[in-house]
Structure 1
Amino acid sequence: MNWYVVYTKPKWEKKVAEKLNQIGIECYCPLMFQIKQWSDRKKKIEVPLFNSYVFVHLEDIDRNKVFEVAGAVRYLFWLGKPAIVKDVEIENIKINLKADNISEISVSPIKAGDKITLESGVFAKQNATVQEVSHNYYTLVLESLGCVLKIKYK
């Protein structure tokens, strides 16, 4: 069995996870506490760590069962195949969310203008600026080498 990533309607993560559990599909919607402030009060609320994503643990042949639940839109794909998350990565998320020394967590996608450090490949440990993000490639500027790197990811 694999962990797959299901894309949900916005703000439906908890509802989809609850309904998936009710029909017998093991799922995980990582939640964190966040303090929200309104004009008259502050309140500590539980919000999803990943907006519009729920992880499901099931066999490949059972993948269509998730669409029996309202709010489940589609699977997240990587390189033309449904994205698979390793068991150890799910466990790491669970462990890290329980840590007492974390005060705030935020997850945001890579966007143009971001400064990053490449972690692997021939350009490992090089600093880069994201110039463009497309549906199937990133364009990075490697100033220290005086070049532009275009990474295609299908």
Structure 2
Amino acid sequence: MNWYVIYTKPKWEKKVAEQLAEAGIECYCPLITQLRQWSDRKKKVEVPLFNSYVFVRLEEADRNLVFQSPGAVRYLFWLGKPAIVRDEEIAIIKKGLDGSGSCDVSVLPFKVGDSIALDSGPFSNQTAIVQEVNNTHYVVVLESMGCVLKMRK
């Protein structure tokens, strides 16, 4: 079984994940907690880490089952085929959002273009390239995941 990425209607990520779970389809919608402010109050809310995306794990033959949910729009495609997410990448996302593990951060004098190996935390065993060095932060690119991290000094 492979992990696929479903594109959903805007703001439907949690609803689609709930509907798919009720239908017996293994799915994962990574959520983060943010502090939102309204005119009269502040509140912590859980929002999806990836807007309009839900990960589903199923067999190739069962791919059409996800469209039982009215919020599921289509699959995300890469090079003309449905994009497949590796189990390791899902595990990295889960580990990163877990928050139970602590990581040691040491800031060394890096310069733009340096290739660094992350040896602790949720992105351990990943290679990153320093993209920006500032007085307050570093910006690094995780090559294997195609994402950018901003780290404070």
The bucket for the TM-score relative to the shorter chain is: 0.5 to 0.7
Percent of aligned positions that are identical? 69
- In structure 1, how many angstroms separate the alpha carbons of the residues matched to 2:36 and 2:93? 23
Aligned length: 111
Deviations 1:65-84 (A, max 9, x none): 00011100000000000000
- In structure 2, how many angstroms separate the alpha carbons of the residues matched to 1:18 and 1:126? 38
TM-score computed with the length of structure 2 as normaliser: 0.66
1:126 deviates by 9.7
- In structure 2, how many angstroms separate the alpha carbons of the residues matched to 1:72 and 1:126? 37
- In structure 2, how many angstroms separate the alpha carbons of the residues matched to 1:18 and 1:4? 16
The residue correspondences of 1:59-138 to structure 2 (distance < 5 A) are: 59-99=59-99
1:64 deviates by 0.4
Structure 1 residue runs of 4 or more that deviate by more than 2 Å after TM superposition: none
- In structure 2, how many angstroms separate the alpha carbons of the residues matched to 1:21 and 1:29? 11
1:98 deviates by 1.1
Provide closer, same or farther for how the CA distance between residues 80 and 36 of structure 1 changes in structure 2, counting only shifts above 3 A. Answer: same
Identify the residue that residue 50 of structure 1 maps to in structure 2. Answer: 50
TM-score computed with the length of structure 1 as normaliser: 0.66
Identify the residue that residue 132 of structure 1 maps to in structure 2. Answer: none
- In structure 1, how many angstroms separate the alpha carbons of the residues matched to 2:87 and 2:28? 12
CA RMSD of aligned residues (A): 2.5
Letter in 1 for 2:27: C
Deviations 1:39-97 (A, max 9, x none): 11110000000000000000000000000111000000000000000001001100100
- In structure 2, how many angstroms separate the alpha carbons of the residues matched to 1:84 and 1:50? 16
Where structure 2 has 5 or more consecutive residues not aligned to the other structure, the ranges are 104-111, 116-128, 132-153
Where structure 1 has 5 or more consecutive residues not aligned to the other structure, the ranges are 103-115, 120-124, 128-154
